[in-house]
A and B are shown apart, each in its own frame.
Chain A
Amino acid sequence: MKIFIALSKNYFRLIANAISNIKPPPRVLIASDDDEVEALCKYSGFEFKRLADVKNLEELRECDIAILALAEDSENIAMLKVVKDFNVPIIIALLHNKNNRDVLIGEGVHYIVDVDEYLYANLSAMLLPDTWIFITPISLLSKVKIALYRVLRRALLGISYDDIKGAFSKLNLNIYVEFFNRFGNRASGQVLAAGDYIVISGFDDDVKQAVKELEKLFRKFEEIQASRTLQQIKSREYG
């Protein structure tokens, strides 16, 4: 197998790791404009070319896969237009800005790996407590989803882990549910505490249904809480 990779320096380690795990080892042709990549290619024994020379590279016709991992989306698209002329059967591209997905598909990429999504999901999980965040862990299997929820204010409701597991067991869904405390270890207590994470993984539809069910459970407890506090407050009538 022969792989063509257009690479920027920040992805070299990642992709070199992935390739060194393939058995039998493929032939690799790397193109880049960074001097760091050229030096590293000498070290790891990959063939190296400049990006400007790719236009006249007849070897590309023998390649089975082209991977476009340049630093910017626009560079990836420009490279894609060049690679397309050589009829490479599979083209994989790295995507940085979520919104540009349609452009890449329109130009004819076969698979897209979304770099943005992991960063976005991890950041928003830290910034936005009490909201659901969905991640697609493997871009090729877009139906496999992970739903993430960080409990903060809703920890006051006093919902136990068994309540949640009980609610799911009724539905008979094909999902995996796990609870983590704020240090990333498996939760050991009985009741949801502030900073806990709820992680649900499984197929897209099942995960969405589970999220809906859990949201229903939260609302039910919130209503109970609200009615309790209403009874406690002694209202005073004027006039």
Chain B
Amino acid sequence: MKLSRFEGRNIGLAGLTTGGVGKAWKAIADKMFAESYILYYGFPQKKIITKTKVFYVDPPLIRGKAIKVATRLLRQPVIAIVNAESSCIDKNLVESVVEDIEVGEYTIYMSIPYTSTELEKLYKEVTSIIYKHIPNIKLPPHPSYSLIVGVKKYFEVEEETLWSYEHLTVLMSLLDGKAKVKVDNSNCKDVVQSIFSGMEKVFTMSLLKSVIKLAIKRKIIEKERGLRVLEEVEARIK
């Protein structure tokens, strides 16, 4: 019997993809994880054939929904959500991050920005609105990340966004005094695929709305003020 040095680890892995599964997946998906899934959130044109289980997310092209599904499917206390099409991910990085989380150094660790210029531009506008109205919070500097590892309980948020779920988990962990969030802006960046072009505005606006809604729900800002901000935002979109 082979004994793996990761024996008995209780970590779940979910790889998000809109098309094929690249080199990243081959490097990561081994015995290190107790359970692993590939979440396919594109339109299925060809079948992915791998050893791991493939789950098709409905509705397609909604990344926020795919991450939410990942948190539902995995039962482990620590979960890793990875962009399986990433060109930056390597095994050593993932291993070291997972170890840090297991030891308890951090509760949420994000690395490798996953953006495009258009998305970045709109995200900066959105965050400036958020900081203007809710000055006492801090959000990650990029709209989405290719590697997210964390304790599962912070991922259980009822709010939904269309693109970046990370920000809601960061907000959730802010409320907990013990939580430590680490955002690592590595040199390598992943570029968002061209299928998503044209959807950036919808994505960022949904992020803005759900962040404010969550802030109201968790009493970070007063209810009346939060509702006024929401109205303002909706008027600006029209």
Contact = CB atoms under 8 A, between A and B. Distances in A.
Interface of A: 72-75, 77-78, 81, 96-97, 99-100, 102-103, 106
30 contacts: A72-B58, A72-B69, A72-B72, A73-B55, A73-B58, A74-B55, A74-B57, A74-B72, A74-B73, A75-B72, A77-B55, A77-B73, A78-B72, A78-B73, A78-B75, A81-B75, A96-B58, A97-B56, A97-B58, A99-B40, A99-B44, A99-B56, A100-B55, A100-B56, A102-B53, A102-B54, A103-B53, A103-B54, A103-B55, A106-B53
Main secondary structure of the interface of B (DSSP, over half): mixed
Given A72-B58, A96-B58, A99-B56, 14 more contacts: A72-B72, A73-B58, A74-B55, A74-B57, A74-B69, A75-B72, A77-B55, A78-B72, A78-B73, A97-B56, A97-B58, A99-B44, A102-B54, A103-B54
Contacts of A103: 53-55
A100 B75 CA distance: 19
Nearest to A79: B72
B62 to A, nearest CB: 13
Nearest to A82: B75
Interface of B: 40, 44, 53-58, 69, 72-73, 75
Main secondary structure of the interface of A (DSSP, over half): helix
A96 B57 CA distance: 10
A106 B38 CA distance: 14
B48 to A, nearest CB: 10
A100 B73 CA distance: 13
B73 to A, nearest CB: 5
Contacts of A78: 72-73, 75
Nearest to A98: B56
B158 to A, nearest CB: 11
A72 B72 CA distance: 11
A74 B69 CA distance: 6
A135 B33 CA distance: 39
Nearest to B69: A74
Contacts of B73: 74, 77-78
